[in-house]
Amino acid sequence: MEALFIAAALLLMLIGLIGVLVPVLPGIPLIFGTALLYAAITGFEAVHAGTLVAMGILTALSLLLDWLAAGIGARKMGGSYAGMLGAFAGTVLGLILGGLAGLVLGAFLGALALELMTGKSRRQAVRAGIGTVVGFLAGGMVKIVIGSVMIGIFMWSAL
């Protein structure tokens, strides 16, 4: 029965890892929640409180990074708060309309559109859009690493 719990937990965690790139899935929080649920179901015998604290810290770090990455990228390239909002809206709309490719293109176009609406020049708006995409992709890569480390920590503890 324990093998079934571990397999189910791993499946949910892998879905969480996919969720790192797909904004409609909770990603890293799903990985953490799965570890917490597994620990509770198994009486905290294999996955202890210290392991959960470490995974909780990584989850908090990931959420902070998620919030900052695209914005930092946009700001480094001259973007504004409006551009960050446009990037977020474009990300959601792009995902709905165009899947994973639409997600990246939507972030760029959303930042570009709102930067143009606030009076930025085309050059400034394009730079902000590029910065948003670079920040988004860089943040995504770091979150993949964080999620993979969390899954590794869980496996080390559970097995």
pLDDT value, residue 99: 77
| Predicted structure pTM score | 0.79
Contacts of 30 (CB under 8 A, 6+ apart): 12, 13, 15, 16, 19
Indicate if the pLDDT at residue 100 is higher than 80: no
Q: What is the mean pLDDT of residues 2-12?
A: 91
- Check residue 39 and report its DSSP letter: H
Torsion-angle region of residue 96: left (phi > 0), alpha (psi -120 to 50) or beta?
alpha
Q: Which two tokens stand for residue 27?
A: 């990603």
Range of the domain at 92: 2-158
Task: Give the closest residue to 124 by CA, choosing from 138, 134, 114.
Answer: 114
Q: Report how many domains make up the chain.
A: 1
Q: Which two tokens stand for residue 126?
A: 């394009």
pLDDT value, residue 13: 96
Q: What is the mean pLDDT of residues 74-82?
A: 79
Indicate if the pLDDT at residue 74 is higher than 80: no
The pLDDT tens digits for 13-65 are 999 999 887 767 789 999 999 999 999 999 998 899 999 999 999 999 998 88
Q: Which two tokens stand for residue 77?
A: 């390239």
Q: 3-17, 79-93, 145-159: which range is least confident on average?
A: 79-93
pLDDT value, residue 104: 82
pLDDT value, residue 23: 67
Judge whether 136 and 87 are in contact, CB under 8 Å: yes
